[in-house]
Amino acid sequence: MMDTPTEHNPAPGSAKPAKKEDSFPVFVLKLAVIVILFRSFVFAPFYIPSESMLPRLLNGDYLLLAKWPYGYSRKSLPMGVPLLPESRVLASTPERGDVVVFKAPPLGEQDWIKRVIGLPGDTVQMKGGQLWLNGKPVPKEQLAPFDVPVSPNTHCLSTAFEAKDAAGQDVCRYPRFKETLPGGRSYEVLDLYNKPSDDTPPFVVPEGHLFLMGDNRDNSEDSRFPAEVGGGIGFVPIDNVIGRATVMMWSTDGAAEWLKPWTWFTAARWDRIGGTF
């Protein structure tokens, strides 16, 4: 008696062909596409190269930037690949107090990071080192000084700020304050000394633009200064915003050496990793 075809005994010629596996180059190509899409539309890394955002961000911090909160434009894509329009799609306006990465005017090529202070229609002014928003002073509370250890990534702005901490380590000790925006959003700033930028005319933020400032108020080229090469950024178009800072993924004091792997760990600022914004 002949066997009838069953699930365990298929009829001749009915077996499914084996699935063809991708070649290594195809696998690499697929992986590259996934990475590019993820970096373009979900998260992207960003390195802090300066001290303009002290005390929140240190030179040598690496953070993750969320790409979706404000929508997408051509500037959202790596190297400005022209796959999206110049104007933003799925657009949303940042909130006051957000820390954002953007393409800085006037050239719109370099990625900068600042805090959103003024929204379209707001009037922003500095008086005697105090921030004023829409004709009212933003509450400013003095805190304990901010100490940042001296390292290859960090040097004191002047000898006036050189100090020692309780353990005898060299630090830069800066005057620190807390500002509280309308709505209750608070953050810390540094106010080091009197400068011309502590007293400004009122700035009325145009439609479709933002007024951005560094938290290190006396060491930041920002919207208080005209947009010019080697200078400030003026009002920043919202379409220039790439994304919002979300979480700290790594931080180093700059002492690591490639040929000394153990320094990769000793140079890490472990206590900063995982901090959110």
Structure confidence at residue 134 (pLDDT)? 98
Structure confidence at residue 23 (pLDDT)? 77
Go through 196-229 and write b for each residue having 16 or more CB atoms within 10 A of its CB, e for each that does not: ebbeeeebebeeebbbbbbbbbbbbbbbbeebee
Q: What is the pLDDT of residues 45-81, one digit of tens each?
A: 999 999 999 999 999 999 999 998 998 877 777 655 5
Structure confidence at residue 132 (pLDDT)? 98
CA distances from 135 to 96, 125, 132, 165, 202 (A): 16, 8, 6, 40, 9
CA trace torsion 54, 56, 57, 59 (10° rounding) = 40
How far, in Å, CA of 274 to CA of 267, rounded? 17
DSSP state of 2: P
Structure confidence at residue 2 (pLDDT)? 46
**Is the backbone of residue 119 left (phi > 0), alpha (psi -120 to 50) or beta?**
beta
Instruction: Spot the catalytic one: 67, 76, 114, 151.
Output: 114
Structure confidence at residue 73 (pLDDT)? 78
Q: What sign has the CA pseudo-torsion 158, 159, 161, 165?
A: positive
Q: Domains in the chain, please, with CATH? A: 42-85+94-137+201-272 (2.10.109.10)
> Is 19 annotated in the active site?
no
Structure confidence at residue 107 (pLDDT)? 85
Structure confidence at residue 17 (pLDDT)? 57
Q: What sign has the CA pseudo-torsion 26, 28, 31, 33?
A: negative
pLDDT average per 10 residues of sequence, the chain (277 residues): 49 55 68 64 88 97 93 72 67 94 90 98 97 98 97 95 96 98 96 94 97 97 94 94 95 94 95 94
